[in-house]
Amino acid sequence: MKKQLILRSAAIAASLLTMSFASFASETTAWNFTTSGGNNYGSGSSTSSYGNALSFSSSDNNVTVTAWADTNEISGPDTVESATAANNYYGLLNYNRNSDGHTVDNSGDTDMLLFTFDDLVSITGINIGYYSYDSDISIAAFETLPSLQGETWATVAGDAIFSTSLANIGSGWSSLDTESNEAKFWVIGAYNSSFGQSGGGAFGSGNDYLKIAGISTVAGTGPDPKPPTDVAEPSSLAVLASFGLFAVWRRRKTA
């Protein structure tokens, strides 16, 4: 009887271990894009170095942030050019080529940030560290690295696998319902009518000036060319152990 109890306890423990690995795989990662002190610019030494990139790491993923804006003044819709990505105490900044400020805004030109992850993610939340006047945002996901330089925002949005806009999200953390969309490439910025909209709210009622302090992501479950990590091995062993111990326990119980 004592042996049966021990075997049953071991089988349950192995099953719980398997469940813990499954829940670990779907944990939320909270990315912090703020920094102490003054403005920190991406690769390069000054705001004149357009196309700068900021890099951030978590325990299981990496992301690079680059800045873009439709500052190429041409006849017809203005086209997109690289800008300078930076961050400070309030979050991510965008210094575009028309020098219209440092926030991610849509005053004159529309500023956006491209987030390039190593692995598939869904974005489940956004943290606005600062906003002025209004706080409408646009967000889009892409299956492959989007071509931004020289494109219009309408063309960029047309290549997205998912895009939407949210009105007046305010400061602090807000939930984003994008979990059914997994991608390595995400564009987020001030409200951009090309990206559509969802829900209520007065979109475009005023210019949006934002500083993005962070986002939250959940690891994707779709196919990914990255080789599996060692984390999967204990999970597989736990599955085999749970079935094996359960079978032994059942055999002894019915003997």
Task: In whole angstroms, give the CA distance from residue 93 to residue 252.
Answer: 65
Do 68 and 81 contact (CB within 8 A), yes or no? yes
Query: Please, are residues 93 and 85 in contact by the beta-carbon 8 Å criterion?
Result: yes
pLDDT of 81 over the 80 cut: yes
Give pLDDT, residue 37. 81
pLDDT at 200: 66
> Does residue 73 contact residue 180 with C-beta atoms inside 8 Å?
no
On whether the CB atoms of residues 206 and 133 are closer than 8 A, the answer is yes
- The alpha carbon of 7 is separated from its chain's Cα centroid by a whole number of angstroms, namely 43
Of the candidates 186, 183, 190, the one whose C-alpha atom is nearest the C-alpha of residue 167 is: 190
The pLDDT of residue 16 is above 90: no
* Predicted local distance difference test score (pLDDT) of residue 232: 39
Alpha carbon 85 to its chain centroid, in Å, reads 16
